[in-house]
Copies of this chain bind each other. A is one copy, B any other.
Amino acid sequence: MIKKYLLAPGPTQVPPEVLLRMAQPIIHHRSPDFTPVMEEVKEGLKWLFQTQNDVLIMASSGTGAMEGSISNFMSPGDKVITVNGGKFGERWGKICKAFGVNATEIKVEWGEAVDPAVIADLLKKDPSVKGVYVQASETSTGVAHDVKIIGEIVSRYPNTIFVVDAITALGVFDIKPDEWGIDILITGSQKALMLPPGLAFASVSDKAWRMNESAKCSRFYIDFKKERENLKKSTSAYTPAVSLIIGLQYVLRTLKEEGLENIFARHSLLAQATREGVKGFGLELLPKTSPSNAVTAVKAPEGFDGQQIYKRLRERYGITAAGGQDHLKGKIFRISHMGYCDKFDVITAIAGVEMVLKEMGYHGELGSGLKRAEEIFIKNI
């Protein structure tokens, strides 16, 4: 028997209580059975998003909401700025291209955070830019971009919206959309929300809603305005993913019980222990600065293949972490510590990495990473 451990940056582990909750008999979405669920969920999402704005719910992967944050607010030919510091940042550009939106892409080396001054300069040169699109946490590199500072910059421009993909950030670290000038904040179900994939969320500010009025990109299924109108009546434009929303109701209750501060502190501690643990074993992180508390990207040591590390973790130890994507493939591996994760998930991950690399001939000393993680946990209990 090999027990299985899911430590990939999404889907993340779903608590067994939530799985069983979703295994209840299905209910009809246009019936009074479902209305109280939606009412509770829409309030809970506002709490989790730390916003007074409506938080829309869509039956799609997170990419659906990313698309919607462009197609519902832009017209073909509109100018936007996108930050490409990884596979998901790159996706903004691809979506813009698909909708005829004119994107100026800021290319950031994968593994580094964007310099907010670059965005400030571009906006200064061309204030007709209608939107700035960035990740709060770039899942492919484990880097957090400073969305607070960028929000301060963008909010000076009355006709420019600031859109943040927080798919691996919301419920991981503190983001205050209303205070920081984030007009659209996006997340998905299968990350810190501890649910299976299939739901996407987006909060939308009044500034963005005004832009929605004149936005001419084609859209139908992912139509934010239609969803907003339906959300007011605690329903949705099209058939919602009922079972996932039932799970969400329960997840939001447990998150509320834990409290936002505790949730952020937990992720911060787990991330710190993971980073110090792998460094204690002699490994190097991919991010030079500003690592995300959602996922830790670790460089494969010189002469070792990151994909082999990923594979061996799975095959020999039952741990599903993640490898690198695109040109980072083979160069890194990634360990998630978001959502339904605690100290012993981190211990498991570091132990797995130590044993796998030792078997592959790496020089590090077994237990040296674990020791560092334990020291951090003891200090913070």
Q: Which residues of A contact B (CB under 8 A)?
A: 4, 6, 8, 10-14, 16, 19-20, 22-33, 59-64, 66-67, 71, 94-95, 98-100, 188, 190, 196-198, 217-222, 238-244, 314, 320, 322
Contact = CB atoms under 8 A, between A and B. Distances in A.
A11 B218 contact: no
What secondary structure prevails in chain A residues at the interface with B? loop
B239 A10 contact: yes
Number of identical protomers: 2
A170 B181 CA distance: 47
Contacts of A241: 61, 196-198, 241, 244
A234 to B, nearest CB: 17
Contacts of A100: 218
Contacts of A26: 6, 11-14, 19, 190, 196
Contact of A218 (B30, B66, B218): B218
**Which of A31, A63, A220 has most chain B Cβ within 10 Å?**
A220
B33 A238 contact: no
16 contacts: A10-B239, A11-B28, A11-B29, A11-B242, A19-B24, A22-B243, A29-B197, A33-B320, A59-B64, A62-B238, A62-B239, A63-B220, A100-B218, A190-B239, A197-B239, A241-B244
Contact of A198 (B12, B25, B222, B243): B243
